[in-house]
Structure 1
């Protein structure tokens, strides 16, 4: 069986050793390298070409966001963000990393989370399966892009009443690109369901709202409506 080659990037020695022990206990993985800051992460990614990267966000020398932007531009590799970010500014950096090409995010382990290690290894296996491409985050490209035109009028028998978008692992990058390209006069309500768990879900709504001209909010009557984390989204009675 071919093992998944993993690069662990984490500035906390305690957390880094824990993650490495998890990987070394599972025969499906091969730990190919460890880094304690974003600069080392880039150097090891270019040298080792891992199958997947476990990446912290808040690190010295170079942050996880800066490392993500560089890696996805010059050495595209599946990235799982492992973050303990709780304040708004740090959460927004995590969303920027997802927009830059990181595929998913999980919270760092807390005391008493007995099954966290199983979830972590399962997430690494999941993101490693996803094909990534070069992801150049140029502000010029975003500025030069023309807004997506409103939908063409439909025939009476095909009148559209709403647009529904669904996204799973890797979805935030595509979602912000689509929503950011819509003009303020987009004529239909948008409903969005995306795979992102707490503590990252609610602040993600605010971050999306900052990146598009349409209102983005949790399940209400108008604007871009997102399902709350852990809940389904239903449309009933019109």
Structure 2
């Protein structure tokens, strides 16, 4: 049996003890080193060549964000950020410079401990590449949008299409690449279900808002859906849309494996908007989203999947493709341009061949 070699980086002795205790329970995981600051983490990676690093963000000498950037510049290693919920926005900056996923510091028992073991096993097998050091950021070129004709008077809303996106592991990075090139006056609402640990969604919304032309917020109960706005589902409840074009939040079943549910959001969009629904399923583990994408497909809407080559985890999207409910499987960097053509109503122009 192959053993996953892990380095723990955290300045708290208590936190390191908890992480070591959890990871040591697994026969297929070995903690090979511990760092008390970012500089030590960088040196241990060079010396021990681990298959995964758990990284805190607030550390002396060199913080976690700087350590991630340094590690990813010199040696591509899967990095799981394990940090306090108060560091949520910084945690998403860590994803921007190369970390794969974010989760809160676990307790010794319970779901968080099980999730840590699951994440380590999954992410240790992800192929990552070295990255250039950050420079002063240049905004991504925003795709221009021509003046659109007014919606027909028969449509009781101020938009035609609704874009619904499902994603999990690797999703935040994929969302940035997809959304940051869309214009501020994008003529459709974008609603997103991203699997996320409780307490991190507000930080993700702030992070995305700092990088996108459109406003980004966490959807609220009863909120009116507006075009040119990006809405994230909270993790604690599942998000739906109503026939009155308002958000509804419903309790997430205790038995749910994923929070929030991608299927719940996509199915409600399919039910309300039918042919005007556009579903996109991005990188992620598991099958959540497949039922919802099928609902959009069967309602006459348009369905897209991120392709394997551009995915961190070709899981959810692969399952949707295998289920036969995806019309177009595209590289991540091609999705924004295609999405703009579709919301402009030019589906029949330069249309790529659908999947068999």
TM-score tier, shorter chain, comes to 0.7 to 0.9
Match of 2:286 in 1: none
Deviation at 1:212, TM superposition (A): 1.4
TM-score (norm 1): 0.84
Alignment match of 2:142 (pick from 147, 156, 162):
147
Work out the CA distance in 2 between the residues paired with 1:97 and 1:144.
18
Of 128, 131, 134, 1:132 maps to: 128
Indicate the residue corresponding to 1:108 in structure 2.
105
Query: For residues 163 and 97 of structure 1, do their structure 2 counterparts lie closer, same or farther at Cα, with a shift above 3 Å needed?
Result: same
Report the more deviating stretch, 74-83 or 53-62.
74-83
Q: Deviations over 1:176-217 (max 9, x none)?
A: 232222222322221111111221112321222222120111
1:40-68 Cα offsets, whole Å, 9 max, x none, are 11111122221111111100011111111
Structure 1 residue 144, shift from structure 2 partner: 6.1
Which range moved further: 207-216 or 180-189? 180-189
Unaligned runs of 5+ in 1: 154-158
Structure 2 counterpart of 1:4: 4
User: Any stretches of 5+ residues in structure 2 without a counterpart?
Assistant: 149-158, 244-272, 274-356
- Contact 2:106–2:116 (Cα < 8 Å) also in 1: no
Q: Which of 119, 122, 125 is equivalent to 1:123?
A: 119
Aligned to 1:80: 80
Q: Is 2:91 aligned against 1:94?
A: yes
Provide the residue aligned with 1:199 in structure 2.
199
1:184 and 1:96 map into 2 onto residues whose CA distance is 22
Q: Counterpart of 1:143 in 2: which secondary structure?
A: coil
- 1:23/1:151 Cα in 2 relative to 1: closer, same or farther (>3 Å)? farther
Measured at CA, do residues 135 and 120 of structure 1 come closer, stay the same or move farther in structure 2, by a change above 3 Å? Answer: same
Residue 188 of structure 2 is matched in structure 1 by 188
Question: 1:168, 1:215 → 2: CA distance?
Answer: 21
Aligned length: 228
Question: Residue 161 of structure 2 aligns to a residue in which SS?
Answer: coil
CA RMSD of aligned residues (A): 2.5
Is 1:52–1:80's contact at 8 Å kept on the other side of the alignment? Answer: yes
Q: Is residue 97–residue 134 contact of structure 2 (8 Å, CA) maintained in 1?
A: no
